[in-house]
């Protein structure tokens, strides 16, 4: 068994990474990328980017490292991943500070995200030792029919900006647990958190070329990764248009693809729910990370009899949220990631109001600190055809609509191209389960909005993509099945 590395740098002295990580080295001969703090427009970090030559060298290194890593004892791979998890936990405060500085979310939420990233490595450390095959009963004496799972190969991974530590961790941990090598392209707005994961891999003794994190021109890097025949798997968390593009390009070489794309999660409140509790819980779930969460509850369907009480509770909880920069520990909600999201929020509210919606709270851009701020917004009387009910808002807007018939609410919930997550709030577990069974989504939360766990499969259906991250299913995504038929000599 390979010895693991017990010597982690002092968390108080470890510097935030400011270079790409490739071939087991820190580099980047391209221009430096200025990372913007969305709270005030200041420079949060400066990171060295890679050149096309360096991307080519990284592809060579990942392909070269594959044979050795895939043949590494699963117990040794497990220990490497466990050590990476320990490094992340040892440096949780520093990594969370980087997340807050470049993404904007409150520090407490950033700390929770980084802890979740460590959980991914811990969980996959166990799964590395449990990638099971099977023996099929054979038809003849002396025969054996064997089925085994093997690493798919070199992986190209693309991650977005809303969870810059957790989402790359899901991909890195599962791919390396399965015996694959991986090249990660983080979002250019938030590269530092993924580079911290590279530091964890380095500190854990994961061999050179197994984990690579490239910062730089997205079009150039993605084109080179997708165009290289040695990359056999592509995994993306992102938008539906980007997912369609990735899938089209990957299809040219028949690469395996996993896509976790947009969502527009319905929340169905049942008539036996406590409307005060439901409104408060729904508001907390909605405005986490300023609503920039793929599984954020984004359409609220409430029985007419409970509507006014639910709205009153929701609005009160919303207006109790303190808005401010993420490093202010008294704040609950931070800025949006960029100017594009700010403009999108203004458009969604204006469109809804023109279609008859009522703004119960918020609804406006906030001019402060040169950052991208938008009030947490609650809308009622929302028309089903208005844009915020059709398109993923991906921001702090909560449309609430009353319903009189549960079948109608389920129909509305399913009347979308998205199918990532859905939520049911109610008192009767059996009724909640019945509604959960009817929702056309990949995940359902019953009386709970915190459903993303390392041990559970995460993913959607329809235009929300396919494939899963997390759980045993997440590691299986990075394997291929080989069948061996053994006959006696």
473 is an active site residue: no
Structure tokens at 349: 């509210």
pLDDT at 1: 27
Which residue in 247, 35, 34, 328 sits closest to 161, CA to CA? 35
pLDDT at 466: 97
Structure tokens at 132: 């099971």
Angle (deg, nearest 10), helices 92-103 and 107-127: 120
pLDDT at 4: 37
**Cα separation, 391 vs 437, whole angstroms:** 24
Which CATH architecture describes the domain 265-417+421-453?
3-Layer(aba) Sandwich (3.40)
Structure tokens at 470: 């997390």
Catalytic position from the list 124, 294, 331, 432: 294
How crowded is residue 19: how many other Cβ atoms within 10 Å of its Cβ? Answer: 20
Q: Longest Cα pair distance anywhere in the chain, in angstroms? A: 79
What are the boundaries of each domain within the chain? 20-262+463-485, 265-417+421-453
CA 233 from centroid of its chain's CA atoms: 18
**Cα separation, 216 vs 308, whole angstroms:** 50
Given the structure tokens 């959960």, which residue do they identify? 436
Residues of the chain below pLDDT 70? 1-13
pLDDT at 489: 87
Q: Spell out the SS3 assignment of the chain.
A: CCCCCCCCCCCCCCCCCCEEEECCEEECCCCEEEEECCCCCCEEEEEECCCHHHHHHHHHHHHHHHHHHHCCCHHHHHHHHHHHHHHHHHCHHHHHHHHHHHHCCCHHHHHHHHHHHHHHHHHHHHHCCCCCCEEECCCCCCCEEEEEEEECCEEEEECCCCCCCHHHHHHHHHHHHCCCEEEEECCCCCCHHHHHHHHHHHHCCCCCCCEEECCCCHHHHHHHHHHCCCEEEEEEECCHHHHHHHHHHHHCCCCEEEEECCCCEEEEECCCCCHHHHHHHHHHHHCHHHHCCCCCEEEEEEEHHHHHHHHHHHHHHHHCCCECCCCCCCCCECCCCCHHHHHHHHHHHHHHHHCCCEEEECCCEECCCCCCEECCEEEECCCCCCHHHHCCCCCCEEEEEEECCHHHHHHHHHCCCCCCEEEEECCCHHHHHHHHHHCCCCEEEECCCCCCCCCCCECCCHHHEECCECHHHHHHCCEEEEEEEECCC
pLDDT at 12: 47
**Cα separation, 256 vs 234, whole angstroms:** 6
The CATH number of the domain covering residues in 20-262+463-485: 3.40.605.10
pLDDT at 368: 82
294 is an active site residue: yes
- Do the Cβ atoms of 299 and 265 come closer than 8 Å? yes
Catalytic position from the list 54, 102, 127, 260: 260
Prediction pTM value: 0.95
pLDDT at 367: 87
pLDDT at 453: 96
**Cα separation, 83 vs 24, whole angstroms:** 17
Which residue in 36, 34, 35, 30 sits closest to 49, CA to CA? 30
Radius of gyration of the chain (CA): 23
**Cα separation, 63 vs 53, whole angstroms:** 16
> Tell me: the pLDDT tens digits for 427-472?
999 999 999 999 999 999 999 999 999 999 999 999 999 999 999 9
49 burial type by CB count under 10 A (0-12 exposed, 13-18 middle, 19+ buried):
buried
């Amino acid at each position: 068994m390979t010895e693991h590395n017990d010597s982690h740098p002092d968390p108080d002295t470890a510097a935030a990474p400011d270079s790409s990580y490739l071939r087991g080295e820190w580099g980047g001969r391209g221009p430096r990328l200025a990372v913007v703090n969305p709270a005030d427009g200041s420079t949060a970090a400066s990171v060295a980017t890679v050149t096309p030559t360096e991307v080519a060298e990284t592809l060579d290194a990942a392909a070269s490292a594959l044979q050795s890593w895939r043949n590494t004892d699963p117990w040794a791979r497990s220990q490497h991943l466990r050590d990476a998890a320990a490094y992340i936990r040892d440096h949780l405060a520093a990594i969370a500070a980087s997340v807050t500085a470049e993404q904007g979310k409150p520090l407490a939420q950033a700390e929770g995200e980084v802890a979740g990233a460590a959980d991914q490595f811990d969980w996959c450390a166990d799964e590395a030792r449990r990638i099971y095959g099977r023996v099929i009963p054979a038809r003849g004496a002396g025969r054996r029919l064997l089925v085994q799972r093997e690493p798919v190969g070199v992986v190209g991974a693309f991650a977005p900006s809303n969870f810059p530590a957790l989402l790359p961790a899901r991909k890195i941990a599962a791919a390396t647990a399965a015996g694959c090598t991986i090249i990660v392209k983080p979002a250019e707005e938030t590269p530092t958190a993924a580079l911290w994961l590279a530091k964890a891999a380095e500190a854990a003794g994961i061999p050179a070329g197994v984990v690579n994190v490239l910062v730089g021109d997205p079009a150039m890097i993605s084109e080179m990764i997708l165009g290289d025949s040695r990359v056999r798997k592509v995994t993306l968390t992102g938008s539906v248009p980007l997912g369609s593009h990735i899938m089209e390009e990957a299809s040219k070489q028949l690469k395996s693809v996993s896509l976790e794309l947009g969502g527009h999660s319905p929340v169905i409140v049942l008539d036996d729910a406590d409307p005060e509790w439901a409104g408060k819980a729904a508001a907390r779930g909605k405005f986490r990370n300023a609503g920039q969460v793929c599984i954020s509850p984004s359409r609220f369907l409430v029985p007419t009899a409970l509507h006014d009480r639910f709205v009153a509770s929701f609005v009160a909880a919303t207006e109790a949220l303190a808005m401010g920069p993420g490093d202010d520990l008294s704040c609950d909600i931070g800025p949006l990631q960029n100017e594009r999201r700010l403009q999108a929020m203004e458009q969604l509210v204006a469109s809804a109001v023109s279609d008859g919606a009522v703004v119960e709270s918020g609804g406006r851009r906030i001019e402060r600190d040169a950052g991208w701020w938008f009030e947490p917004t609650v809308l009622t009387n929302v028309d089903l055809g208005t844009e915020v009910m059709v398109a993923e808002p991906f921001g702090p807007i909560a449309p609430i609509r009353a319903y009189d018939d549960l079948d109608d609410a389920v129909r509305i919930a399913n009347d979308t191209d998205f199918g990532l997550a859905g939520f049911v709030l109610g008192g009767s577990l059996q009724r909640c389960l019945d509604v959960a069974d009817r929702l056309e989504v990949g995940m359902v939360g019953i009386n709970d909005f915190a459903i993303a766990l390392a041990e559970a499969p995460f993913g959607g259906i329809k235009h929300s993509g396919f494939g899963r991250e997390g759980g045993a299913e997440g590691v299986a995504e990075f394997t291929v099945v080989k069948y061996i038929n053994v006959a006696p000599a």
